[in-house]
């Protein structure tokens, strides 16, 4: 009994060890087989592109401009200094000398020819007619346009990524099918070599298969070279090293599609219209009255307007004013008309772009419908080609057809399978391009 217990214990440990090794091997396989989605490629490309930092830069510029504009409500301080020499000044003695007998005129000194002053001038906006508010709104609208324009420029990367991504998927499927077909050819060659040793077939039959094997190996090598090149390009665009072991996932296609277009280019047009509307408010503020207050703190000789005091002394002045440009020769009216023309141009450009995109969407819908129809018939066609190849194999073994004829049927079956994979990848690509044209996100 103790021996049996030890034996069961050893068996249990062995099972645990084997299970652990299997789990570790499975986890290693998962880790080696990395999965990369199309959406991840987009995100990495946007993050690594040189334009990615523009939005943050535009935001920083706007904050600085807005901060400067908001300071328009703060008082301005200006320091001034001047020296003036007057060649002719008022001499009260010449005015009063003829009417005074008591010598009063002689007691009055003439005004000084020199004037000195140092001042600090303070100006405070009281009412600006909405100029500062309008200018801040205009800068905010410009920020929105610049940020959306950057998004639009980055959005163009999607087309490049789609081209390389789906080309790699096609090469992957083609390589898989070629390797499967190569295995079949190798098995056929082994079978033929046995038949040749028994004298049931001639050497030229084996040569036909060997020729096909060499062509397959060349195609596989060519496929690998193309795939490596495309992976390097995709790695460069996304800023991420993508090795051949990475599995590219086929994007999930939406069950339904709609005609709504939300591309960044369309949104740029809308934001430009908002920017022009903000500009109109700035133009309107120009025709509004402006009220302000001012103060001057000075030190000079003569002090302020006291020209009869010939000595340095401090002084100050306080006041308020209003300014209203009641007639500007229709300048503002003309500028408003120019804005109206610009809005019309933007509307026309938006309509033209929308029409072009709708035509592209209609073309893609037709392409998707056609590819789905081909995929449905591919399954039936593949099954039919398999039966034909099976019959050709039997005919070759019975000596009713040549090895070349048999190989032609095998090639037809292989091409049918390749076409099926091409149709599936192209359908996924067409669906992705449809979403890209309309501005929808990829799942």
H/E segment holding residue 39 = helix 38-48
Determine what percent of the chain is predicted with pLDDT higher than 90.
Answer: 62
pTM for the whole structure: 0.79
Structure tokens at 260: 């709504």
Flag the least confident range among 217-231, 236-250, 304-318, 326-340. Answer: 304-318
How far is Cα 414 from Cα 35, in angstroms, rounded to an integer?
27
Instruction: State residue 442's pLDDT score.
Output: 82
Nearest to 402 by CA among 189, 181, 187, 208: 208
Q: Cβ of 366: how many Cβ atoms within 10 Å?
A: 11
SS3 253: coil
Q: Between 421 and 2, whose confidence is greater?
A: 421
Q: Which residues are paired to 124 by β-bridges?
A: 293
* 145-193 pLDDT tens trace: 999 999 999 999 999 999 999 999 999 999 999 998 999 889 888 888 8
The β-bridge partners of 78 are 121
Residue 107 has a pLDDT of 57
CA dist 114 and 86 (Å) reads 6
Tokens read off for 133:
């508010």
Tokens of 239: 């800023």
Output the six-digit token pair for 204. 């030229």
| Whether 282 contacts 135, CB under 8 Å | yes
Segment 380-428, tens digit of pLDDT: 999 999 999 999 989 988 888 888 898 899 889 989 999 999 999 999 9
Please identify which residue in the block is written with the tokens 């905010």: 140
Report DSSP letters for 19-37, one per residue.
Answer: HHHHHHHHHHHHHHS-EE-
**Element holding 114 (H helix, E strand):** strand 114-127
Other beta carbons within 10 angstroms of residue 118's beta carbon come to 14
Residue 222's CB is within 10 A of a number of other CB atoms, namely: 12
Give me the long-range contacts of 55-59 (CB less than 8 A, separation at least 24): 55/147, 55/150, 55/151, 58/143, 58/146, 58/147, 58/150, 59/143, 59/147
The C-alpha torsion from 381 through 385 and 387 to 388, rounded to 10°, is 140
Please give the backbone phi and psi of residue 202, each rounded to the nearest 5 degrees, phi first. -100, 165
CA atoms of 143 and 148, how far apart (whole Å) = 9
Region of poorest pLDDT, from 260-264, 307-311, 327-331:
307-311
What CA–CA distance (Å, rounded) separates 5 from 300?
115
Give the pairing of strands 114-127 and 76-85.
antiparallel
Cβ–Cβ < 8 Å for 215, 411: no
Question: What average pLDDT score do residues 339-362 get?
Answer: 95
What pLDDT, in 10s, does the model give residues 213-256?
999 999 999 999 999 999 999 999 999 999 888 899 998 877 66
pLDDT of residue 202: 82
What is the pLDDT, as a whole number, of residue 99?
53
Q: Cβ–Cβ contacts within 10 Å for residue 159, how many?
A: 11
197 near 156, Cβ under 8 Å?
A: no
> What angle do helix axes 157-197 and 38-48 make, rounded to 10 degrees?
130
115 DSSP 8-state letter: E
**Residue 51 DSSP symbol:** G
- Check whether the bond before 158 is cis (ω within 30° of 0): no
* Surface-to-core class of residue 158, CB atoms within 10 Å of its CB (0-12 exposed, 13-18 middle, 19+ buried): buried
For residues 120 and 298, is the Cβ–Cβ distance under 8 A?
A: yes
Q: How many other β-carbons are positioned within 10 Å of the β-carbon of residue 298?
A: 18
Question: Residue 206 has what pLDDT?
Answer: 86
Residue whose tokens read 């001042």: 119
DSSP secondary structure code for residue 90 in this structure: -
Instruction: Check whether 20 has a pLDDT greater than 80.
Output: no
Residue 27, pLDDT score: 43
Mean pLDDT of the chain: 86
């Amino acid at each position: 009994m103790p021996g049996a217990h030890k034996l069961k214990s050893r068996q249990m440990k062995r099972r645990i060890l084997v299970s652990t090794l299997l789990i570790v091997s499975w986890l290693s396989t998962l880790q080696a087989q990395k999965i990369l989605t199309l959406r991840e490629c987009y995100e990495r490309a946007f993050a690594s592109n040189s334009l990615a930092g523009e939005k943050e830069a535009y935001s920083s510029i706007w904050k600085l401009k807005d901060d400067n504009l908001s300071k328009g409500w703060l008082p301005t301080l200006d320091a001034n200094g001047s020296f003036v020499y007057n060649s002719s000044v008022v001499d009260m003695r010449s005015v009063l000398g003829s009417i005074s007998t008591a010598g009063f005129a002689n007691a009055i000194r003439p005004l000084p020819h020199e004037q000195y002053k140092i001042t600090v001038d303070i100006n405070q906006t009281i009412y600006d007619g909405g100029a500062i508010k309008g200018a801040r709104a205009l800068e905010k609208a410009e920020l929105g346009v610049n940020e959306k324009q950057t998004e639009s420029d980055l959005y163009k990367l999607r087309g490049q990524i789609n081209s390389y991504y789906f080309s790699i998927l096609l090469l992957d499927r083609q390589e898989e099918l070629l390797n499967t077909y190569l295995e079949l050819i190798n098995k056929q060659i082994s079978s033929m070599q046995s038949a040749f040793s028994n004298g049931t077939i001639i050497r030229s039959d084996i040569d036909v298969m060997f020729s096909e094997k060499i062509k397959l190996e060349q195609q596989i090598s060519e496929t690998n070279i193309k795939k490596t090149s495309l992976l390097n390009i995709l790695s460069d665009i996304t800023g991420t090293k993508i090795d051949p072991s990475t599995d590219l996932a086929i994007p999930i296609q939406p069950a339904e599609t709609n005609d709504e277009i939300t591309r960044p280019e369309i949104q740029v047009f809308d934001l430009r219209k908002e920017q022009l509307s903000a500009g109109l408010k700035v133009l309107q503020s120009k025709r509004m009255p402006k009220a302000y207050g001012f103060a001057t703190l000075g030190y000079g000789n003569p002090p302020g307007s006291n020209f009869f005091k010939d000595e340095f002394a401090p002084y100050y002045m306080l006041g308020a004013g209003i300014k209203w440009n009641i007639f500007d020769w229709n300048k503002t009216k003309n500028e408003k008309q120019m804005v109206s023309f610009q809005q019309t141009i933007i509307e026309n450009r938006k309509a033209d772009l929308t029409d072009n995109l709708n035509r592209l969407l209609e073309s893609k819908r037709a392409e998707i419908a056609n590819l789905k129809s081909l995929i449905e018939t591919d399954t039936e066609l593949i099954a039919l080609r398999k039966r034909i190849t099976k019959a050709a194999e039997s005919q070759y073994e019975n000596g009713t057809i040549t090895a070349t004829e048999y190989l032609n049927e095998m090639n037809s079956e292989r091409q049918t399978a390749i076409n099926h994979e091409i149709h599936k990848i192209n359908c996924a690509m067409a669906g992705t391009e449809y979403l890209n044209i309309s501005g929808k996100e990829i799942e």
